[in-house]
Amino acid sequence: MPRETIVQAVNDALHTEMAADDRTLVFGEDVARSGGVFRATDGLLEAFGEERVRDTPLSEIAIVGAAVGLATHGYRPIVEIQFSGFLPPAFDQLVSNASRIRWRTRGRLTAPMVVRTPYGAGVRALEHHSESLEAAYAHVPGLKVAIPSTPADAKGLLTSAIRDPDPVLFMEPKRVYRSFREEVPDGEHTVPLGEAAVRREGADVTVVSWGAMMHPTLEAVDKLGVDAEVVDLRSISPLDRETLLASVRKTGRCVVVHEAAKSGGFGAEVAATVAEDALLYLEAPLRRVTGFDVPVPLLSMEDYYPPQPPRIAAAIEETVEF
């Protein structure tokens, strides 16, 4: 198996699925001739031609709106929004059109489309380039939201998203796009949407995270003398409640780590799920380790915004010692 980075695994999945199904199309800003701002679509134009790989104007509304139209007419569009902070202009297309077309038409039409977008802080980007707004999209019925943390999962989840009969928002953690490599299955490889992964078995505390925050979470756990179980949600919509609750019932404690702002972040949904169905198993209050309720700061201050291993480790220790 080849060893790939996350961005290479995304490119691998796109090549594999486009070769397998000529209904798949890729379009977005600079995705064709430049291969995307992060080169995730590099080589697609040469392999599949300009009829299936197209550059678009700077209009997220038009990009996602066109994808909805194509998806309802037999194609499987995969569109790229350069940064997740640019996605809000297309919120109406995702919420009012793509996510509810199956319900609105009583199943006569569906929207099998994927919106890919890099998200999160940590690369010294400009304003609106570092947001982590996954909770807003997870709130939308009919829209799936997947967030990989490893190259193998990036390829597997993206493949499943492309094949899914309904719209999927695929959020790629650009902070770790190229920070490490791992073996990725060659050829066809799928990871089911809505299925979490237990990255580390443990008995003392459940630590839940996803995307770019999985790596500082694992680093924090490895440095502690605590038998922590680490759960990578991988998809936040649908949420794998079974894996989450089984882990919390086993350990009796829970810490949630994410880089989005704390208020209304998806960690609150995790906490509510645990409170509803595993409250009597808890031996300590659930803790959230998150970004702050401010816009992502620019340049050097950006590193203070996402949770770092020391802050994560402190929350885990406090939870275990409660």
Residues forming the active site? 129
Q: Report the relative pairing of strands 114-119 and 76-80 from DSSP bridges.
A: parallel
Tell me the two tokens of residue 82.
């350069």
Orientation of helix 214-223 relative to helix 309-321, angle to 10°? 60
**296 within 8 A of 305, measured Cβ to Cβ:** yes
CA-CA distance, 206 to 251, in Å (whole number)? 6
Burial tier of 46 (Cβ tally within 10 Å: 0-12, 13-18, 19+): exposed
Dihedral sign, CA of 22, 137, 91, 34? Answer: negative
**209 within 8 A of 27, measured Cβ to Cβ:** no
